Chain A
Amino acid sequence: MENIYLTIVLAPLIGAIIVGLAGHRLGRTLSHSITILGVTVSTVLALYVFNHHVLQGAQVFNENIYTWMQIGGLNMSIGFLVDNLTSVMLLVVSFVSLMVHIYTIGYMQEDEGYTKFFSYISLFTFAMFMLVISNNFMQLFFGWEAVGLVSYLLIGFWHHKESAVEASLKAFLVNRVGDFGFLLGIAVLLMFFGTLDYVETFTLANQVNGQTIFGDISVITVICLLLFIGAMGKSAQVPLHVWLPGSMEGPTPISALIHAATMVTAGIFMVSRMSPIFELSDVALTVMMVIGAITAISMGLLGIVQNDIKRVVAYSTLSQLGYMTVALGVSAYSVAIFHLMTHAFFKALLFLAAGSVIVALHHEQDIRNMGALRKKMPITYITALIGTLALIGFPGFAGFYSKDMIIEAVHFSNLPFADWVYYVVVFGVFITAFYSLRMFFMVFHGESRLEQHKEEHVHETALSITVPLIVLAIPSVIIGYLTIEPMLFTGWLENSIYIDASAHGSLAALKEHFHSAFGLMLHAIVTVPFWMMVGGSLAAWVFTLYRTDWAKKIQERFHRTNYVLKSLYGFDRLNDIVFVNGSRKLGEFLWRISDMTIIDQFVVNGSARLMRFMGSVIRPVQTGYLYHYAFFMIIGLMLVLTWVLVVGENPLIQLGS
């Protein structure tokens, strides 16, 4: 089996290296064939692994591949832990990645950096595999940062665009803030556990529980909060969410792959993987739940006022990541992973559909300049409809099951603030339906607002684009229905996730109330979230199609609220003023005042002036040539040396003894 796992991980890396180094010589066709072949191999094998572990119930694989570093008793290795959670993640990542690879053939057709792009997305796939398959924190951190690196390179892929380059730097740095916490978390963990290996850590967790740091703060809580800071960076939770909307500057395929389906869910995955530790800290769980709820609602609201098609989807992603974090907070880890999976499919689908529209309109992204595309782009239309229905949680679609389970899990939670969070996530359903359908209607329905010359040329996009849409649409419909029962209730993830059922009973309560996937769908009509969804959808219909002038009136009536939303709550401005300009001013101050004035002018040049004064006494010797200084130095040294050695009894030296 080890070779199979290795092949899954390395196939995309090999493709990335070959195409990265020799892409311009191989040509386009060969380049995309090689990388797609690599990812296909991974996908097929990931299916095999999924069958082997999840369906056949094979033993968990946990072995080191090679020793990265061995210091005394501390082993840091590259190693694989393959259990059901990993198997699910491998399959989701490889499948979405494969679709995105194929889609890219059509999307990047006219781009100069065609081969480079393929190399990058294959490299990303490798990094993501390393992250999910890791059996220790060192490798986790490697994967964690490596996906961030590729994200940086891909956001700034169009390097001639100032805004893209700006966004890539911002994304990297904000992620680094998260990684800062994450690394400290790993360091604290190493100190108290003495190992970086997951399984060893988990077995020691109860022993470490109860130890304290900084006086009387629980070590486990500190570790969990620090690790969660890392998750906040990667999974874009408020206030570290600011990089994600900017990441939309990158080409759309990577928005789908990296900034919707896989990388941004790394934080969710990580916390689920660490469930044996997080279960021990109610403080950390509560913090996660509250931050997740804030993210879910506040980012959803921003989705309503966006007009860039990709940004609407981006804010929707932020909001959905908030939902996943809430699920983590209420100890419903498997529900979070379930939503992660369904979201990966339908959100990748939505992004790729948005990309299809963008390509068809020659890189028009403003939904105010679209409309009535449903007849011209039928495949995109139908698939986008499926994606939207999945996102808003229409009964039966993938997102319905996963989101409903999150809401119910919060309902059953007994953490402090859980009742408040429940209202938030229920209201979030209204918001989700509203912004999703607003965008959907503005793009595909109503009157066409396209410019005349564009209007005539609009047609359905190429096969390489529509085929991935169709393929992704299938799981967006059925995956929730098919997998809810095994994934949440009958044990697919049981060997990966630990829940302290006595303290955190949400999932157990869910299980008690669950009868069948079909029953859940029928029952939906009497639940509040369903009517929230209907309400949101109706509202979207009213504002975008029925009474188009109402939106404007409301904006004017509530211009203050509108201003707050349009300025994205001021996070960007705050960061600019405090962190960007603040650091520059601080650097400038330290450099000019401390380095150049106090140390250099005052101390160094002061002594130099003293030297020069002394030097003026022996002016004739001073020729100003450096060689002479050098020789004087040697001669002087020799003199000092000889003097001291010959006059060994020198009183100066006798002082100490």
Chain B
Amino acid sequence: MESLLSLLIWLPIVGGISVLVIGNNRSDLARWVSVAVSIIVFALSLNLWAGFDTSTHVMQFVENTPWISQFNINYHIGIDGISMLLILLTTLSTFLVIVAGWEVIQNRAADYMAAFLIMEGLIIGVFSSLDAILFYVFWEASLIPMLLIVGIWGGQNRVYAAIKFFLYTFLGSVFMLVSLIYMYIQGGSFSLDVLNELPLSLTEQSWIFWAFFLAFAVKVPMFPVHTWLPDAHVQAPTGGSVILAAIMLKMGGYGFFRFSLPITPDASSEFAMVVIVLSLIAIVYIGFVALVQKDMKKLIAYSSISHMGFVTLGVFALFSVVKMGTDGQIYSIAGGSLEGVYLGLEGAMIQMISHGFISAALFLVVGVLYERLHSRDISSYGGVINSMPKFTGFAVLFALANAGLPGTSGFVGEFMVILGSLQANFWYAFFAAMILIVGAAYTLWMVKRVFWGPIVNSDVSTLSDINTREFFVLAVLAVAVLAVGVYPQPLIEVMHVSMVNLLEQALTTKLPVAL
């Protein structure tokens, strides 16, 4: 399994191209090929976990060959505990999306499946690149299939949504490219190993930090650059929303882990406060905005923004908990402990995984309803439990997970980040914990209006319960949500050593030590 990672990147891309070749006229064959490819990729990705050494932070499954040698750009890939989990999330989600889109997508079915497969490969590329240019190419390229998915299979206002999506993300990442090139000129390499060690002054770091920040904050998305997300979600087909929420947002969070903290540690520390405030605004403000949404997809989209606030909060709170002394020892700033820092960092990571499951599930839930009644308005529904009891069981489970109920994955990340951020400042935790009330309010209020109560109209009474395929997809996610909730330790085990290393990098100053 020497080139397992490459296989994971290129197999879906090649598979996707084959599906394109099969064409829309033979859509059944295209579907079967797609699902076969996605299953194989998922199965292969499990080998990453099986063969993963949890005792080291050194990159594993590394491949490194020159690509554009005159600029010292290499095809350099490898994973640590952080990227491995996100790759698994990607392969699982893609498989589920392809199954979920089975008969739902009739228009250009082969193209649809192909887009998701190709996107899968590109996103795995993002999560495994150890060369900044390679990362950047995958990063930008993965936008294209998503843009097409929204643009071709989207709703009525898809062009506006797609352009908005494009504008935001493209503007965000252009600055990242500029700063990468700047660092190349300084250090002569795009390799992350080199960039991580590259000495940079605080001014340089600040510019780079904000350039990165723009790219990643748009993706997460953070307040105030979040307004593309609700529009994109509303217009995207179900599968698009699932991948967007489950994986593409995580690219932003991943960027903070992989780039911002190690490359610009001093600037990260300098501006941590800004990031934290924006995260808290996202959690509380967006929570209230979610409360008044009338469109289910919008509500879930806003809820996503609010929940992703925990990721950035968990990461950047560390700078108010501990600092590194000139002797290389780590000291507590305000009585917090190292455990508090790890609670934040690893909580952020768990929150990403968990949000991947839950938001995917919620968008699938809305998709199931949309297919039947062609409405996303909460007011079109009411009393769905009467005609779709099995489906309601799943929907309520995922809603409760979204509300952070212990025993589900939604609890784990939030719990950890709240415990961790309190060690930075009581008020961080105070505002973050408001999601307990507000998050439950918007989620369960929607559940109440859609699922409980008497049947509101004749359409609802004719709804048919989920079929086996839909049941399967939701059941897989339900198992995942519960498994992480009941036993998160395996995830922690996989990422802990990588986080220890990351913390070391984030706390080690790149500035000349003052005497």
Chain A residues close to B by CB (< 8 Å): 66-74, 138, 141-142, 144-146, 149, 152, 156, 159-160, 162, 165-166, 168-169, 172-173, 176-177, 179-180, 183-184, 186-188, 190-192, 194, 213-214, 583-584, 586-588, 590-591, 594-596, 599-600, 603-604, 607-608, 611, 624, 626-627, 629-630, 633-634, 637, 640-641, 644-645, 648, 653-654, 656-657
Contacts and interface: CB of A to CB of B under 8 A. Distances in A.
Nearest to B435: A180
A584 B489 contact: no
B460 to A, nearest CB: 13
Contact of B290 (A71, A587, A608, A637): A587
Contact of A71 (B342, B429, B451): B342
B285 A160 contact: no
A626 B224 contact: no
A656 B422 CA distance: 38
A184 B339 CA distance: 17
B144 A634 contact: yes
B456 to A, nearest CB: 11
B15 to A, nearest CB: 21
B166 A629 contact: yes
B289 A587 contact: yes
Given A583-B441, A633-B170, A176 B339 contact: no
A588 B292 contact: yes
A610 to B, nearest CB: 11
Interface stretch (B181-189, B238-246, B261-269): B181-189
Contacts of B46: none
A633 B438 CA distance: 39
B418 interface: yes
B91 to A, nearest CB: 24
Contacts of B121: none
A608 B161 CA distance: 12
A155 to B, nearest CB: 11
27 contacts: A68-B489, A70-B492, A74-B343, A152-B444, A159-B452, A162-B453, A165-B453, A172-B444, A180-B433, A183-B415, A183-B436, A194-B339, A584-B292, A587-B288, A591-B288, A594-B285, A604-B227, A626-B150, A626-B162, A627-B151, A629-B163, A633-B143, A645-B181, A653-B178, A653-B182, A656-B203, A657-B186
Contacts of B335: 191-192
Interface in B39-64: none
A172 B453 contact: no
B78 interface: no
A176 B291 contact: no
Nearest to A148: B405
Interface in B106-164: 140-141, 143-144, 147-148, 150-152, 159, 162-164
Given A73-B339, A604-B167, A633-B166, A173 B289 contact: no
Contacts of B144: 630, 633-634
A640 B177 contact: yes
Contact of B342 (A72, A160, A169, A654): A72
Nearest 10 pairs between A and B by C-beta? A626-B151, A587-B292, A587-B288, A187-B422, A142-B406, A74-B339, A587-B291, A165-B452, A591-B289, A159-B452
Q: Interface residues of B: mostly helix, strand, loop or mixed?
A: helix
A173 B440 contact: yes
B192 to A, nearest CB: 18
A168 B147 CA distance: 42
Given A160-B454, A177-B437, A188-B422, A634 B227 contact: no
A56 B501 CA distance: 52
Contacts of B452: 156, 159, 165, 168
A626 B164 contact: no
A293 to B, nearest CB: 27
Instruction: Kindly state the interface size class of chain B when it binds its partner.
Output: 35 or more
A124 to B, nearest CB: 14
Given A191-B422, A648-B185, A68 B487 contact: yes
Given A184-B433, A584-B292, A169 B162 contact: no
B21 interface: no
Interface in B252-304: 285, 288-293
Nearest to A588: B292
Interface of B: 71, 140-141, 143-144, 147-148, 150-152, 159, 162-164, 166-168, 170, 174, 177-178, 181-182, 185-186, 203-204, 207, 224, 227-228, 285, 288-293, 335-340, 342-343, 346, 383, 385-386, 400, 405-407, 411-412, 415-416, 418-419, 422-423, 426, 429-430, 433-434, 436-438, 440-441, 444-445, 448, 451-454, 487-489, 492, 496
B441 A141 contact: no
Contacts of A624: 159
A173 B441 contact: yes
Nearest to B439: A176
Contacts of A611: 167
Contacts of B430: 184
A168 B289 CA distance: 23
Interface centre among A160, A176, A608 (most CB of B within 10 A): A176
Contacts of A66: 487
A165 B383 CA distance: 11
B440 A172 contact: yes
Interface centre among B140, B346, B416, B436 (most CB of A within 10 A): B436
B44 to A, nearest CB: 28
A156 to B, nearest CB: 6
Contacts of B385: 159
Contact of B148 (A70, A144, A626): A626
A173 B437 contact: yes
Given A583-B291, A630-B147, A630-B148, A191 B336 contact: yes
Interface centre among A72, A152, A624 (most CB of B within 10 A): A72
Contacts of B207: 656
Given A68-B488, A173-B441, A180-B436, A142 B407 contact: yes
B419 A190 contact: yes
A428 B387 CA distance: 49
Given A594-B285, A608-B167, 18 more contacts: A68-B489, A69-B416, A71-B496, A72-B342, A74-B343, A146-B406, A168-B452, A180-B434, A184-B422, A187-B433, A188-B426, A191-B335, A595-B289, A626-B152, A626-B159, A630-B148, A634-B140, A645-B71
Given A160-B454, A656-B203, A176 B437 contact: yes
Given A187-B422, A641-B177, A590 B163 contact: no
Nearest to B288: A587
A74 B346 CA distance: 13
A586 B400 contact: no
A149 B162 CA distance: 39
Nearest to B414: A183
A73 B337 CA distance: 10
A627 to B, nearest CB: 7
Nearest to B169: A633
Interface centre among A69, A172, A584, A630 (most CB of B within 10 A): A69
Contacts of B429: 184, 187
Contacts of B488: 68-69
B147 A629 contact: yes
Nearest to A584: B292
A595 B170 CA distance: 21
Contacts of B489: 67-70
Contacts of A648: 185
A467 B109 CA distance: 63
Contacts of A166: 448
Contacts of A191: 335-337, 340, 422-423
